[in-house]
Amino acid sequence: MITGKNYLGKELSNDGEVQFRTFNPIDNKETEPTFFEATREEVNMAVGKAAKAFEVYKKKSDLEIAEFLEAIATELEADAEALKEIYRTESGLPEARSNGEFTRTVNQLRAFSEMLKDGSWVDAIISNPEGKPDIRRMQIPFGPVAVFGASNFPFAFSTAGGDTASALASGSPVIVKSHPLHAGTGELVSRAIVNAAIKTGMPDGVFSNLNSKGIEVGEWLVKHPKIKAVGFTGSYKAGVAIEKLAANRPEPIPVYAEMGSVNPVVALPSSLEQKSDDWSEQYAGSITAGCGQFCTNPGLILAIESPALDSFIEKLGTKLSKVAPSVMLSPEIQRQFEAAKSEVLSQDGYNQINKFDGDLQPNYGRQEVISVSGESFLQNSAFHKEVFGPFSVVVKCKDKDQLNEVLRNMEGQLTGTILSADQQELQEYNDIIESLRETVGRIVYNNVPTGVEVCAAMTHGGPFPATSNAKFTSVGLTAVQRWVRPISYQDWPDELLPEALKSSNPLGILRNVNGRFTTDSL
């Protein structure tokens, strides 16, 4: 049963007068439950509980926190069908997507649990050469973290998503500002987290979930002096606004914002000459996957003018027009998609390739691809902008030099892709690959950028404006590094050191001892 209330730690609360409902984009109507937006007092109570919980939670062992994360996954699985049903109702996303995203969410919780069991994630470094000070360093948690739920991933980037899982793994309590598009999903996920916290003996306030209709709840959270870091996935406009709020506090705090990307795909000549059919099929699918509502949607395809490129463009347009359109997350997102697309299509200097010309149901996105010359792209920044939805621009460069110039004039991106059917060709285009590498956080070879694997080696980030800090990832095990800071102990008695730094290495973790990685004791 959905109550519509806020979770302030383990306590349910609905003191506010502002109420709202979520929306079913397929049925084109509001859902039944009513949600109560958190008041400023409720925000303060949640943060106060988190700060108090931090004093206890930061002392929990890695094994105890691992048990907590495992328990969250188990609680989610126990309520899987109800969670998936409300997820589909509030997002319009299909059953296969709800199943895949749910599995990803519980798996990443368990992945962080396994990371904690290993224990080496704290990056213990010991430097004690003879005649020098004994200095030992490790990572410790920041403190309470505010997480903003994402509109397009109600499971994997929201209430129990990567930001929450990694922050809890670090030893930091979490307060989620639930996304208003899927507040019901957020409440059921929050119930699972709170139940897991109770069952594993975690302190009250280690997790809270706040409903919001407008921007005030998020602003109160970011500006609260006891919040120590922020995780955000969403638009550039909102991400920059949050970053400014955090920077203008008396005590500025880090904001790890993932703000979108056009994810350039560079199709080298051999790829279009030899695999035009395959790539046009794959990219028609990638552009329209999830109605284009992925942060890794391929919004740009770059290539050098040739008959093979003309053939690829024709095939891509034909295949794209035959893909059945799908529903967008909400009427407002569909409206924003059409507005952003119209802004691009109001420019001079492009050719329409193809679009879906059939009738659309309410809230569905009409996919479209256009082409522009490299010169037009360089002269008009409107063609560079992300259009959040099933829309892509093919840039026809006159030669290799212009292709390189286009890449050098691009802003930071989450991903970049190289398509090639000839490894010798990669050597010839090494300068192009280098230019792309300087712009992105993940460089893909002969694949599509959509889909982000949860693993230790993943970088889901990139230079600004793709993210607010290119040094970090929001996906994968190293995402935990966003919520910790290093501390060094100098000449401390061994018995007073944290377990990870003691000479006997009681945890058996991998440590850097005088420049050598080892699990040995000193």
Could you give the residue numbers annotated as active site? 258, 295
Cα-Cα-Cα-Cα dihedral of 345, 349, 355, 359, to 10°? Answer: 40
Q: What are phi and psi of 7, to 5 degrees?
A: -95, 110
Chain length of the chain = 522
Residue 42 has which token pair? Answer: 């409720």
CA distance to 36, 107, 193, 354, per residue, from 22 (Å)? 12, 27, 22, 34
Rounded distance between C-alpha atoms, residue 373 and residue 146, angstroms: 43
Please count the other Cβ atoms lying within 10 Å of the Cβ belonging to residue 327: 22
> Is 247 exposed, middle or buried, given 0-12, 13-18 or 19+ CB atoms closer than 10 A?
exposed
CA distance to 331, 463, 510, per residue, from 92 (Å)? 11, 32, 46
CA distance to 8, 125, 285, 443, per residue, from 317 (Å)? 50, 55, 12, 25
Residue 111 near residue 454 (C-beta atoms within 8 A): yes
Residue 95 has which token pair? Answer: 């059953």
Residue 290 has which token pair? Answer: 């999830």
Question: Residue 245: CA atoms inside 13 Å, Cβ hemisphere, count?
Answer: 24
> Would you call 84 helix, strand, or coil by DSSP?
helix
Residue 405 near residue 252 (C-beta atoms within 8 A): no
Q: What are phi and psi of 418, to 5 degrees?
A: -115, 125
Sequence-separated (6 or more) residues with CB below 8 Å from residue 327: 25, 26, 92, 291, 361, 363, 364, 365
Rounded distance between C-alpha atoms, residue 125 and residue 518, angstroms: 10
Strands 440-445 and 413-419, by their bridges, are parallel
> Would you call 463 helix, strand, or coil by DSSP?
coil
The percent of the chain in helix, strand and coil, each rounded to the nearest 5, is 45, 20, 40
